[in-house]
């Protein structure tokens, strides 16, 4: 066996070699060795670290594989607030920004234009060239420590290349998921029967908050960096500092420009807008910054954003194509949504074949007809939408479209309640998409969190006759599930996907179902899918009544006495629990072991704050924001997100939002400190 001295020497040598080749691959795009040779270097280093853990570096390249479990993401206050940027969608407003900058400076300035990556903002802290901490943007004042997960992203340097960098500094950037990696990941999830992600940004945000960093390591995350912060930094311009970051080993986007004036900047924006669909990642605009750091300092900041920067956001891309037909989809609540089938058209980097028409009123307002040429828009939506009709191209024989009268799935007569835009299928117990939708809602992350049962698996188990309602989940046995296979057809020309219930898959499903028995009562109540009862209302009902039996027995007047419960919600709750089948299912869930009473610590303990509404703002020394809100509710108070004449107190911590303070002063709402709040509880 190698002796300690040689082991230490070899570990240092291997670490440097891996860092060098990592930089060549991810930053320079100029690898010198094969993937296999690189993997062999990493494996040798891993073996030495196992044998000689006393020499292992916390920032070793082997940390890229993850493995650290983070149960709770600690909240960390930013040393420098992560402010948002003012947005504009028009060239005239960008010209106004240029004129404001000139008025304040009294002299011309140079601008830098950079791509606005559609991802998740991150702040990294480095000391002595080593990554110390990674913090999400959060509310701008404080964010979550996601260091273990960020260390797995191979384009982020754990240790910088040799260079003239400060002992300590902060760098900000955007973590994102390239389209190719996102699509490959979704295809793999489909093949395994897992639910797919809606878009790369959502996938990135969800991945960064995963508890197991080894799973994060397998996700195709990447990052670009664009802002350097710290004391005694060198460089006179923002562009120079971008080059510093690149020379230190950070990935900096090269599609950027130094513009001498607004005209040159607008040309750059037009070029980016024209070619953005060809980029391998999503962008939603261009960020414009004054280049000179001394001019930035002179311009300063508003309460919310720097005066020396602005975000030019691209308008949603639009195309014109022909409407071929209209399908009608039934959702979990029975709402019927019209979806347009289109002549395929390339839009925002993808071929679009379908678009939402929302509801009967929207269809009538558009006066859309089969054969029409329609304008299709794709912004942040998952499904594009039709925004208007090209009436000039309509042929004379077209006929108005009439919304269907019967459910397309079960043929039940549709109904429409007064004051609602949607038509509904009332056959909630016998309409297949409603049954499957309720099951998918029940297992969702914010409800029972049975993530081992993706959408495809629920559909298969429903078709196999094993699931008809939520209680059936808790009757599933290993022998019922093992060996089930089904090919599920895919829409929009995608390949069919196969769902297979192999041994490990079945074990994971049953474990997920068993683990769901520990989910707190308020989420069980939300999971039932009672119409109009969302997460917030479910929490308020749970805290008010403490258990399911009290809610079942509650009269109308009892229900509307609960904050945020009005006529519509009270009626929906009473209708749900007057149904014998619903009551039987709830009782089966109770027998299965689900929590049907609220945990003791979440019950309203005292009514000292009864009738008082609080708005919470800032950072507190003795509580997290969630803890202080929970304290208010446990003492009978109500927490609101905005200040109004009904607000009793604004509970202000450090760095209270200036707009909230201004609004409170205008309305005469009393602002209290954390200490005053605690004294209030002692009354």
Read off the tokens for 630.
């929970």
Those residues with Cβ within 8 angstroms of residue 113's Cβ, 6 or more apart along the chain or in another chain: 256, 257, 259, 265, 268, 269, 272, 286, 287, 288
Contact between residue 488 and residue 464 where contact means Cβ atoms under 8 Å apart: no
List residues bridging with 347 in a β-sheet: 350
Burial class (CB in 10 A: 0-12, 13-18, 19+), 683: exposed
486 is catalytic: no
Residue 524: both structure tokens together:
């069980």
Q: Are 80 and 172 in contact (CB under 8 A)?
A: no
CB atoms within 10 A of CB 492: 10
The catalytic residue among 4, 6, 43, 116 is 116
Packed helices 455-463 and 432-443: angle between N→C axes, nearest 10 degrees: 130
289: Cα within 13 Å, side-chain hemisphere: 25
The answer to whether 618 and 141 have CB atoms below 8 angstroms apart is yes
CB 299 within 8 A of CB 306: yes
In 397-515, DSSP assigns E strands to 423-424, 485-488, 497-500
Say how far apart CA 559 and CA 561 lie, in whole Å. Answer: 5
Question: What is the Cα–Cα distance from 328 to 433, expressed in whole angstroms?
Answer: 12
CB distance 144 to 101 below 8 Å = no
What are the helix (H) ranges across 253-367? 262-275, 293-299, 360-366
Pairing outcome for strands 649-652 and 613-617: parallel
The whole-angstrom separation of Cα 619 and Cα 627 is 12
What are the Cα distances from residue 617, in Å, to 627, 637, 639, 657? 13, 16, 11, 7
Bridge-based pairing state of the strands 309-313 and 87-88: parallel
Q: What share of the chain is helix, strand, coil (3-state, %, to 5)?
A: 40, 20, 40
- Residues 638 and 615: their CA atoms lie apart, in Å, by 9
Whole-angstrom Cα distance, residue 9 to residue 579?
A: 73
- Largest separation between any pair of C-alpha atoms in the chain: 89
Q: Is 245 helix (H, G, I), strand (E, B) or coil?
A: helix
246: left (phi over 0), alpha (psi -120 to 50) or beta: alpha
Please state, in angstroms and rounded to a whole number, the distance separating the CA atoms of residues 154 and 139: 27
**Residue 172 C-alpha from the chain's centroid:** 19
Locate all alpha helices (DSSP H) within 347-400, ordered by sequence.
Answer: 360-366
Cβ atoms of residues 497 and 460 within 8 Å? no
Contacts of 479 (CB under 8 A, 6+ apart): none
| 115-129 exposure pattern, b = at least 16 Cβ within 10 A, e = fewer | bbbbbbbbbbbbeeb
d(CA 361, CA 194): 35
Catalytic center residues: 116
């Amino acid at each position: 066996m190698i002796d300690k001295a040689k082991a230490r020497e070899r570990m240092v040598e291997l670490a440097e070699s891996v860092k060098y080749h990592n930089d060549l691959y991810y930053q320079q795009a100029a690898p010198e060795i094969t993937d296999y040779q690189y993997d062999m270097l990493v494996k040798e280093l891993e073996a030495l670290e196992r044998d000689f853990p006393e020499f292992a570096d916390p920032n070793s390249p082997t940390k890229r594989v993850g493995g650290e479990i983070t149960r709770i993401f600690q909240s960390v206050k930013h040393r420098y607030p992560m402010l948002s940027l003012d947005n504009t969608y028009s060239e005239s407003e960008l010209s106004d920004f240029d004129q404001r900058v000139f008025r304040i400076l009294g002299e011309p300035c140079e601008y830098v234009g950079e791509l606005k990556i559609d991802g998740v903002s991150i702040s990294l802290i480095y000391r002595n060239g080593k990554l110390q901490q990674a913090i999400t943007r959060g509310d701008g004042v404080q964010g979550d420590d996601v260091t273990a997960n960020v260390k797995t992203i191979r384009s982020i340097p754990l240790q910088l290349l040799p260079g003239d960098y400060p002992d300590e500094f902060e760098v900000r950037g955007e973590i994102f998921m390239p389209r190719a990696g996102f699509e490959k990941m979704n295809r793999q999830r489909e093949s395994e029967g897992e639910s797919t992600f809606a878009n790369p940004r959502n996938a990135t945000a969800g991945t960064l908050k995963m508890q197991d960093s080894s799973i994060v390591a397998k996700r195709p995350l990447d990052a670009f960096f664009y802002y350097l912060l710290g004391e005694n930094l060198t460089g006179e311009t923002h562009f120079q500092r971008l080059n510093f970051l690149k020379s230190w080993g950070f990935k900096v986007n090269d599609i950027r420009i130094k513009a001498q004036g607004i005209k040159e900047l607008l040309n750059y924006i037009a070029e980016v807008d024209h070619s953005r669909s060809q980029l391998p990642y999503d962008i939603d605009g261009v960020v414009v910054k004054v280049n000179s750091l001394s001019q930035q300092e002179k311009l300063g900041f508003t309460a919310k954003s720097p005066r020396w920067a602005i975000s030019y956001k691209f308008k949603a891309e639009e195309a014109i194509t022909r409407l071929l037909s209209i399908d009608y989809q039934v959702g979990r609540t029975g709402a019927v949504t019209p979806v347009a089938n289109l002549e395929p058209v390339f839009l925002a980097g993808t071929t679009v074949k379908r678009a939402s028409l929302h509801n009967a009123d929207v269809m009538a307002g558009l006066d859309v007809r089969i054969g029409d040429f329609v304008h299709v828009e794709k912004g942040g939506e998952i499904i594009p939408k039709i925004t208007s009709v090209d009436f000039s191209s309509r042929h004379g024989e077209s006929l108005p479209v009439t919304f269907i009268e019967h459910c397309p799935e079960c043929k039940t007569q549709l109904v429409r309640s007064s004051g609602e835009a949607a038509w509904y299928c009332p056959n909630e117990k016998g309409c297949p998409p409603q049954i499957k939708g309720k099951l998918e809602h029940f297992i969702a992350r914010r409800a029972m969190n049975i993530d081992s049962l993706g959408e495809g698996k629920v559909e298969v188990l429903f078709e196999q006759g094993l699931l008809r309602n939520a209680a059936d989940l808790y009757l599933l046995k290993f022998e019922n599930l093992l060996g089930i296979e089904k090919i599920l057809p895919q829409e929009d020309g995608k390949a069919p996907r196969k769902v297979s219930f192999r041994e490990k898959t079945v074990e994971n499903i049953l474990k997920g179902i068993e683990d769901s028995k520990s989910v707190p009562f308020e989420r069980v109540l939300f999971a039932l899918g009672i119409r109009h009862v969302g997460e917030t209302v479910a929490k308020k009902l749970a805290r008010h009544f403490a258990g399911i039996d009290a809610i079942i027995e509650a009269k109308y007047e009892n229900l509307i006495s609960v904050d945020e419960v009005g006529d519509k919600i009270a009626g929906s709750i009473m209708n749900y629990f007057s149904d014998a089948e619903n009551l039987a299912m709830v009782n089966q869930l109770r027998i299965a072991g689900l929590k049907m009473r609220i945990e003791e610590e979440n019950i309203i303990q005292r009514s000292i704050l009864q009738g008082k509404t609080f708005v919470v703002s800032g950072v507190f020394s003795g509580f997290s924001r969630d803890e202080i809100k929970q304290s208010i509710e446990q003492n009978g108070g109500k927490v609101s997100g905005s200040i109004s004449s009904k607000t009793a107190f604004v509970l202000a911590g450090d760095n209270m939002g200036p707009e909230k303070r201004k609004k409170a002063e205008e309305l005469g709402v009393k602002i209290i400190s954390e200490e005053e709040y605690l004294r209030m509880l002692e009354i």
